[in-house]
Amino acid sequence: MSQSNKLTPSHPSLERYRLDGMILDGFTFGIYTILTIYAVIAIMGGRSTHSKQWKVKTQCYILLFYVVVTFLLGAVGFAANARYTEDIWINFRGQPGWSPEELITDEFYFWYSRLAVDSQAIMVWIMNALLLYRCVVTWNYARWVIILMSTVYLAIVGLSTSVMVFAQKQAIFTNLNLQLSFLTLSCTYNILYTALVAAKILSVQQRIKHTLSAEYAQIYTSVVTLIVESAFLYFIFDLLFLISFAIHSDTEYLILLENCLIQGIAQLLIIIRVAQGREHAQHATVSSDSNVAVKDSTLASTTTVDEGSSISMKSRIC
């Protein structure tokens, strides 16, 4: 009976959610790996299609570098988390002073566990930087957009760095108001990006409707839908993690490990669908008597309407 009592978890919900979170992390990483392969294939296909356009080729190489680097950071984080999960329930089993609960709460005792958190934090910085670039270019480098989004982005980087410093040994940040501020700001950043980009594209859509017809404006509806769908995927998980953290619930461990991979999946969906041309045509031509210039920088496409000539939409992935 005494041996049975020793094996009974003192905090079963914490251990259960941490283990289930690692299982979900493995499932999510599998999806992320498959989408990364598809993204690389799609980008290389776009590079060969525009082989004579050096600007497009350069953008493809930059985007390819982004996809590979973020994948490597995600892979390092996943591998380190998997290794530490072994420590929690297998490698340190039976050793005095090393219960699963203590190993979960004192996660930063081990360098590879801190490596997992640090690599995922850097991965989020890079992905948010891509969102910043998209938003700024979409608004044609409007000063107020640059100031607003850059300020929020730098605040996120600063808060996440501060959290890592002040957390010291423990990976449970419930006593750190900085972590709550960081999560809130991350949700705000995602909402700002989606709202600004969608608003700009919809305004372009209205101009196209008035200039040409509703038929040629349908592409912008598809683009907005794509952006909102992808952003909504990450926003839901981010919001759930924020709520669970704010109420000090153990369910935060169900989302913590795979949260950054969800954001990576959302961005890869945009890259793949744009690269494969599912959301817009590579080239569209139609006669017109108008003279309009529109730059859609969310998907980095440029549309020009010349009098008596045609509309040329050449997609560039950003």
Which tens digit of pLDDT belongs to each residue from 137-179? Answer: 889 899 999 999 999 999 999 988 887 777 665 555 555 677 7
Structural domains of the chain in order of their starting residue, each with its CATH number: 11-282 (1.20.1070)
pLDDT cut 90: percent of the chain above it: 26
Least confident of 92-101, 118-127, 166-175, 188-197: 166-175
Res. 299 pLDDT band, cuts 50 70 90: very low
Tally helices (H) and strands (E) across the chain: 10, 3
Tokens encoding 91: 């490698």
Query: In terms of pLDDT, which residue wins out, 290 or 96?
Result: 96
Residue 214 in this model has a pLDDT that exceeds 90: no
What angle separates helix 111-138 from helix 143-167, to the nearest 10 degrees? Answer: 170
Identify the three-state secondary structure at position 121.
helix
Res. 51 pLDDT band, cuts 50 70 90: low
Residue 134 sits at the vertex; the CA angle it makes with 128 and 137, to the nearest 5 degrees, is: 140
Check: CB of residue 281 under 8 Å from CB of residue 313. Answer: yes
Which tens digit of pLDDT belongs to each residue from 228-283? Answer: 877 888 888 888 888 888 887 888 888 888 888 999 999 998 888 877 764 444 44
